[in-house]
């Protein structure tokens, strides 16, 4: 849903919170069986239906973050994290990467800067055929802990039929009833988007578990930290495709880089709570650099046909018991099935290229 600049500052922050919360769980929620997401029998179809009711149906596009751009490049893996995992992708070397950068608007024809939320998705392949797919977002935390609470959040932010906007009072009531959203709301209040995908940091948010050769388990989160200094996004004269054009223009001058940084959980850190950031003093290890070499419109690029399910993991990397992480694949699959059935939009359709 577009970020409505006509709202008051507090209302804009609430809108940001809704959008960012949607982005994080809208990556897709996995069912424990047959599409069921939890004890209350929430299904992936119900979740995607609610997202469509809020943002509209846009045939052929992803239900979450439909506006984006494909890219390709590689990971320069340092090997510094390899002792913590038997995953071959963490050993020193170069790994080809296919990826996608996107924004959190539910409308694929919205402006790149219509929302503050941005995402990066990656697909990595090992020589033995195993894959590692990642879906990262710029918020460091989520607003809620469970798929059911996320569904309630979507319901709270539903647009009013008369105005087409959500009710800030209703949204505030939701957040008041969910004190675990405090860290997320603080981030939303302070965050100022940069003017480029290339200067944005992207976070796993959920924790994962690295398993080493001896079977020892290490809880981690990771981030892609930009090596380009950030410049605040301007408020005037920004084109609808500003972020995508900026990316393409920067790539004409050379590759773009991020540091792949792992944070290790400390004793007592909640591994299953995506609403709470771990302390800044936790040990960090740099696994290498992500290097983007090329980018292409998503309807022409290789990323369109992929479902970036973050539970597709190689041996040596496992999901934590985070309820939202454990719930992600099913709604991703539901979104993928719907857009595949609908068919790819024509690149000649107005606004289709992003």
Tell whether 332 is in a known binding site: yes
The DSSP symbol for 166 reads B
The 3-state DSSP class for residue 236 equals coil
Question: How far is the C-alpha of 314 from the C-alpha of 326, rounded, in Å?
Answer: 16
Q: What is the DSSP string of 102-134?
A: EE--SSTTS-TTSSS-EEEEEEEE-TTS-EEEE
Q: Taken in order 91, 228, 71, 195, is the CA torsion positive or negative?
A: positive
Element (H, E) at 288: strand 284-297
Closest CA to 202 of 177, 176, 221: 221
Distances from the Cα of 223 to the Cαs of 36, 37, 127, 137, in angstroms? 30, 27, 24, 9
User: Of how many residues is the chain composed?
Assistant: 354
The Cα angle at residue 116 between residues 16 and 18, in degrees rounded to 5: 25
The DSSP symbol for 23 reads H
What does R_g of the chain's alpha carbons equal in angstroms?
Answer: 19
Structure-block tokens of residue 249: 């223009």
Closest CA to 346 of 44, 185, 108, 6: 108
Closest CA to 234 of 222, 224, 226, 242: 242
Element (H, E) at 77: strand 68-77
Catalytic residue among 58, 65, 218, 276: 65
Long-range contacts at 31-39 (CB < 8 A, ≥ 24 apart): 31/327, 31/329, 31/330, 32/326, 35/330, 35/334, 37/147, 37/148, 37/327, 37/330, 37/331, 38/146, 38/147, 38/148, 38/323, 38/327
**277: Cβ–Cβ under 8 A, 6 or more apart, which residues?**
140, 141, 183
Q: Is 65 a known active-site residue? A: yes
Residue stretches of the annotated binding site: 332
**Residues with catalytic function:** 65
Residue stretches of the annotated binding site for heme: 332
């Amino acid at each position: 849903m577009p970020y409505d600049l006509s709202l008051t500052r507090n209302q804009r922050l609430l809108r940001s919170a809704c959008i960012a919360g949607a982005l994080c769980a809208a990556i897709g929620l996995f069912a424990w069986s047959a599409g069921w997401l939890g004890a209350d029998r929430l299904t992936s179809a119900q979740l995607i239906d609610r997202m469509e009711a809020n943002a509209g149906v846009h045939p052929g596009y992803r239900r979450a973050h439909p506006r984006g751009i494909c890219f390709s490049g590689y990971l320069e893996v340092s090997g510094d994290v390899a002792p913590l995992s038997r995953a071959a992708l963490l050993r020193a070397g170069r790994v080809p990467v296919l990826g996608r950068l996107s924004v959190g608007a539910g409308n694929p024809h919205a402006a790149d800067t219509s929302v503050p939320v941005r995402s990066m998705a990656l697909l990595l392949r090992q020589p033995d055929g195993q894959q590692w797919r990642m879906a990262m977002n710029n918020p460091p935390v989520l607003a809620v802990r469970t798929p059911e609470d996320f569904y309630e959040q979507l319901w709270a932010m539903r647009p009013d039929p008369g105005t087409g906007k959500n009710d800030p009072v209703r949204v505030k009531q939701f957040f008041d009833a969910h004190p675990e959203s405090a860290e997320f709301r603080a981030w939303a209040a302070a965050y100022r988007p940069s003017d480029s995908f290339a200067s944005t940091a992207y976070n796993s948010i959920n924790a994962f578990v690295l398993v080493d050769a001896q079977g020892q388990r290490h809880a981690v989160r990771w981030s892609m930290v930009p090596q380009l200094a950030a410049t605040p996004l301007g408020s005037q004269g920004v084109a609808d495709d500003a972020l995508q054009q900026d990316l393409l223009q920067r790539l004409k001058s050379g590759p773009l880089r991020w540091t792949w940084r792992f944070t290790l959980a400390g004793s007592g850190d909640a591994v299953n709570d995506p609403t709470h950031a771990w302390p800044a003093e936790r040990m960090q290890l740099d696994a290498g650099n992500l290097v983007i070499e090329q980018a292409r419109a998503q309807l022409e690029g290789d990323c369109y046909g992929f479902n970036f399910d973050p539970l597709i993991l190689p041996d040596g990397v496992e999901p934590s018991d985070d309820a939202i992480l454990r719930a992600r694949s099913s709604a991703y699959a539901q979104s993928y099935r719907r857009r595949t059935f609908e068919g790819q939009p024509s690149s000649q359709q107005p606004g289709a290229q992003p």
